[in-house]
Structure 1
Amino acid sequence: MSVLSDHVDVIMGQAPSGDQYNDRGEGWPLIAGAGDFAGSVPRPKKYTITASKLSRPGDIVIGIRASIGSKVWSDGEYCLGRGVAALRPRETVDGSYVWHWFEANRTLLESKARGATFLQVNRADIAELPFEPPPLPEQRRIASILDLASSITAKCDAQKDLFREASSAIFMSMFGDPLLTSRHALAVPLSTVTEAIIDCPHTTPTWTDTGVLCLRTSNLGLGEWDFSETRFVSEETHEVRTRRAVLKAGDLILSREGTLGVGAIVEPDMEASMGQRLVQIRPDTELVLPEFLLAYLLVVLQPSRLTQLLVGSTSRHLNVRDIRALPIDVPSIDRQREFSEAVRAIRVQRRSVDIQTKLAAELLQAVQDRAFRGEL
């Protein structure tokens, strides 16, 4: 049986000495791990003046620790750190075919991972993956079809990114930068325009397989919910965790620790309790509307901006006292209502794109499955 290393060189990364690192752009850009991936290309944060393992343009760089199987194209020469390996296709295989084949077989590689502290795979795990490529012309035909299907998915993802940024752009256009408007004489503390600002319980709940949804920071995005991973608690635990306040439609849920700058609005008929590191904000809707307040908070709670607004806060942690003290210049309700209507229109369009993205992903998966079963 043919294996991957019969057709592809597998180059395992090796970490340079720590005293060789720099952030001045000297030497080679360092791909330490999957944290240096952005989309389909590397985005390294550090450089090194010595490198024993280098990628070439056209290599496929894969994560081998923690984020196993994530991958990017090498668009230049990079130092390969210990968290990655490079796949270098030989003349018998097409690079794009290998890229798509690897995506379709990622779970097989993940199943080989082991480790007490964090999961990882070694060279043999990668090199010995069963790989029976068809003749080169057929590889190229299959790769061209999969490239087209992938481009449809990528365009849908790009549309979603634009919609995520649209609310912030409209907010800035209508109301200005909060770092400036918060200094206006009419700016007031956030606590004066809300009915309640409620901290989460500071305990980890006992999880159950089914029950009532318990929200975590991973469920929050830039003004949207992400329920790709959910956790549940019992009815009894839910009652305990909502003693301070039950979630109501129009409440805001924000992350206040770890991943700052994410949040969403509680939707009608949504029953849930809060996990840790979250805060619940109930706007006084006679003074401030949920869509306006959320957009304001998502702008000011960006880690790079937060420390400019609240002296003494950090980019990783925000306590409830800090949130209550956030200065906000509140525009008229009519102006807020105009903004809210624009945001709701964007939300409708975004949900349409979400459906298209899901269908595109299902199409790509179906085409991949057929391609590597020899049915395409």
Structure 2
Amino acid sequence: MSLIKHACRVIAGQSPSGDDVTDLDGGMPFLQGKAEFGSHSPEPRYECATAPKIAPRGSVLVSVRAPVGAVNMADRAYGIGRGLAAVVPARASAVYVRYLMEARAPYLRSLATGSTFEAIAAADIGGIAVPVEPLSEQQAIEDYLDRETAKIDTLIEKQTTMIERLRERQAAVISTAVADRGDAVTLASLSQRGGFFDGDWVESKDQDPQGEIRLLQLADVGDGQFRDRSDRRVNAATFARLRCSALRADDILIARMPDPLGRACVLPSDQAGAITVVDVAVLRVDHARAVPKYVMYALNSAAARSAIEVQQDGATRQRIPRKKLGKIALPVPPLDEQREIAAYLDRETAKIDNLIAKVERHIELAKERRAALITAAVTGQIDVTTSTQSGDAA
């Protein structure tokens, strides 16, 4: 066993001045964090000619901020920000080091658990103990894992495509059900008096992990479902000081930022009393005119989504102001018909959601098997020479 820092050089990322980072246009690509990772190598969006830290080609890029432990291979030189570290092999091959880092990802995540910012330091990576085998054995491990993980990756890709097809089918069911079902009415006109507003402007300094009032995030707003993913809170004193608006059951939450832009869900009753962030618009419908579930489905239809995308311009790219959102027109049939459509779509989307959940579980199991296989191979639990010969014979 050897420490990573004795077998590799670890480079901690460092952020340049924000003015020096621009959209990618042929210069030195700059990576801020895991958001620019691809399936194997990065997909950069920015460049920076003055990046203080450079990850050379062939290094293993490791995310040191949430999600901690994710890896990519540097297929060229990259400037790297504080969200990344680069592990540059010295006594090991790059591919072998990548597999080592994938095997140690759970350990790195455990170091970040409980951390305020869910981050680790480059020194944490350098202090990992790993087996550094002779180069010939490293090559055998690489060959075995390349072959076996490729099979699993192909399976995951097929299942991911299946989920995409199911989501397309679901979107088509919704769009067909609400199309041309009544007069076109603007979204804002469906609200109660004062019932169409943005969430509250709550900064990090205003939040209190022990607060009594939940602060919902964009991540909680799903495409037709409340996702319940965040855990942010404020206390009652801050709620009063900021004059926050408490949400009610059946309020419609509309995301004013991607992805996708304009997705909507209905607030469940057990979340009543929560507040939400400013990038979520809240529609409290007039029940004499509209059924919340129906309006949610109409907002998530292809026609509404296209209309919302058109409202983006250079000044509001990837964000839609509530004023423009309120001008989106939806087909609004009589109340009884709205209820029938909403009930029908509840049934049909639930069937598809169940299928998606089953496929997602298969993907989760495949990823677990992939991770276990890598760990077993790099720690010697699998005789890759025998396994390789068996695989070749097969």
TM-score range, shorter chain: 0.5 to 0.7
Partner Cα separation in structure 2 for residue 46 and residue 100 of structure 1: 27
Q: How many residues align?
A: 353
Q: Which residue of 1 aligns with 2:3?
A: 3
Q: Which residue of 2 aligns with 1:237?
A: none
Q: Deviations over 1:12-42 (max 9, x none)?
A: 5566677765536233322233333244431
Tell me the TM-score normalized by structure 1. 0.67
Contact kept in structure 2, 1:30 and 1:78, CA below 8 Å: no
SS at match of 1:41: coil
Q: Deviations over 1:152-176 (max 9, x none)?
A: 4454444444544554566678889
Contact kept in structure 2, 1:216 and 1:274, CA below 8 Å: no
Q: Which residue of 1 aligns with 2:249?
A: 247
SS at match of 1:358: helix
Query: Within 5 A, what are the aligned runs for 1:161-310?
Result: 161-164=164-167, 166-168=169-171, 187-193=184-190, 197=195, 215-230=216-231, 246-248=248-250, 252-256=252-256, 261-266=262-267, 272-277=272-277, 278=280, 279-282=282-285, 289-290=294-295, 292-296=297-301, 299=305, 305-307=310-312
Partner Cα separation in structure 2 for residue 79 and residue 113 of structure 1: 28
Share of identical aligned residues, percent?
19
Q: Which residue of 1 aligns with 2:355?
A: 349
Q: CA deviation at 1:130?
A: 0.8
Contact kept in structure 2, 1:187 and 1:330, CA below 8 Å: yes
Amino acid at match of 1:295: N
Partner Cα separation in structure 2 for residue 370 and residue 290 of structure 1: 51
SS at match of 1:347: helix
Contact kept in structure 1, 2:186 and 2:328, CA below 8 Å: yes
Q: Which residue of 1 aligns with 2:369?
A: 363
Tell me the TM-score normalized by structure 2. 0.65
Amino acid at match of 2:144: R
Cα separation, partners in 2 of 1:66 and 1:349, compared to 1, 3 Å: closer
Cα separation, partners in 2 of 1:172 and 1:26, compared to 1, 3 Å: farther
Q: Which residue of 1 aligns with 2:144?
A: 141
Partner Cα separation in structure 1 for residue 28 and residue 315 of structure 2: 37
Partner Cα separation in structure 2 for residue 233 and residue 49 of structure 1: 41
SS at match of 1:61: strand
Amino acid at match of 1:27: G
Amino acid at match of 2:60: I
Partner Cα separation in structure 2 for residue 162 and residue 168 of structure 1: 10
Q: Which residue of 2 aligns with 1:73?
A: 73
SS at match of 1:330: strand
SS at match of 1:87: strand
Q: Deviations over 1:74-127 (max 9, x none)?
A: 3x32322233333344574461x43333133235445279999894523x4333
Query: Within 5 A, what are the aligned runs for 1:4-43?
Result: 4-13=4-13, 22-23=22-23, 25-43=25-43
Query: Within 5 A, what are the aligned runs for 1:301-340?
Result: 305-307=310-312, 315-316=318-319, 318-319=321-322, 323=325, 325-330=326-331
Q: CA deviation at 1:328?
A: 0.9
For structure 1, list consecutive stretches of 5 or more residues without a partner in the other structure: 235-240
Bigger shift: residues 281-290 or 360-369: 281-290
Cα separation, partners in 2 of 1:205 and 1:272, compared to 1, 3 Å: farther
Contact kept in structure 2, 1:7 and 1:93, CA below 8 Å: no
Q: Which residue of 1 aligns with 2:86?
A: 86
TM-align CA RMSD: 5.1
Cα separation, partners in 2 of 1:17 and 1:282, compared to 1, 3 Å: closer
Bigger shift: residues 153-162 or 38-47: 153-162
Bigger shift: residues 154-163 or 41-50: 154-163
Q: Deviations over 1:278-300 (max 9, x none)?
A: 42544859756245323149726
